[in-house]
Amino acid sequence: METMTINNTQTKETLAKQIDLENCNDLQEIAMISVDNIQTFENKDLNELYVNEWEQAAYATKKIMEACKYYGITMINVLEEHPIWHISLAANYKNKKPFEMINYSQVADWTDEENGLSERAEFTVNELKSFLKELSLNGKWSQMLWPDHSIESTKWIELSEPLKESDFDLKIVKGTNPAKEAYSGFDETILDEELKKRWKKILLIWWVATDYCVWQTALDGQEKWYQVYLVNEAIRWVTQDTTDAMIKILEDKEVRFISSMELFEILEKKFA
């Protein structure tokens, strides 16, 4: 396991973050987080955002969860539920198709009377401008427009086999604000509050997609002083190129990658 050098300028919060699996002595400090394990990414017949090889990850997830539940580790289900008029959906724009990009410069001249929003959109022109301007200020510049997916009150947000609602101790819903994209499980949710209330310090994260929601949830978790691990067998991605870029960022931020075998060996050695 990689070690970290401590200098005198590090804060108590930084030191707390460095509690990892190998020096953890309390199972209550660990939480497992499933991100977007829902039909919208796993049912090819929906023609939405199908993720290849999700089945292998699903059964790996189930195996890992069963082993970790034996030790009493908290299981958290994080999933997105978008209103159908969400700002990231291409159908809410007149002349945009799925997987096109939109940025602030494209909408800067839009007004309430003259704009490119479709009749279905319920976010305002000003809300769109504010969202895209914030992206540009954060160096992201543009937003991918997606096909309809993860729509609230549909089967698209249901879990896929072999996982069931009863497998989880807590459910956290993200992406409900129609005027803001939210890849991260921490974005405008109670996830951080619930983790702190339960004294969690170590997060084991899995599911889809490594290059979007898993990546952003892991990154935010690390920046909030949790030690974050991604479980190799239980994550899948949209494209390899974007995933490679995101993995480099995660590694630079000291997010760790662990195999299920390594995880089982640590748990058995310390807590059996």
On whether the CB atoms of residues 38 and 157 are closer than 8 A, the answer is yes
- What does the pLDDT read at residue 18? 60
Q: Which residue has 């990850």 as its token pair?
A: 57
- Euclidean distance between the first and the last CA atom of the chain, given in angstroms as a whole number: 20
**Burial of 63 by CB count in 10 Å (0-12 exposed, 13-18 middle, 19+ buried)?**
middle
- What does the pLDDT read at residue 8? 38
Taking CA 221 as the corner, what is the angle to CA 217 and CA 226, rounded to the nearest 5 degrees? 150
Cα torsion 120, 124, 130, 134 to 10°: value is: -20
What residue ranges do the domains of the chain occupy? 14-84+152-271, 90-144
Q: pLDDT tens, position by position, for the chain (272 residues)?
A: 333 333 334 444 444 456 799 999 999 999 999 999 898 988 888 888 888 878 888 888 889 999 999 999 999 999 999 999 999 999 999 999 999 999 999 999 999 999 999 999 999 999 999 999 999 888 888 999 999 999 999 999 999 878 889 999 999 999 999 999 999 999 999 999 999 999 999 999 988 888 889 999 999 999 999 999 999 988 888 888 888 888 899 999 999 999 999 999 999 999 98
Structure letter (DSSP) for residue 109: T
- What does the pLDDT read at residue 17? 52
- What does the pLDDT read at residue 9? 40
CATH 3.40.630.30 fits 14-84+152-271, yes or no: no
**Burial of 242 by CB count in 10 Å (0-12 exposed, 13-18 middle, 19+ buried)?**
middle
Q: What is the pTM of this model?
A: 0.89
3-class state of residue 41 by DSSP: helix
- Token pair for residue 121? 């959109």
Phi, psi values for residue 199, rounded to 5°: 60, 35
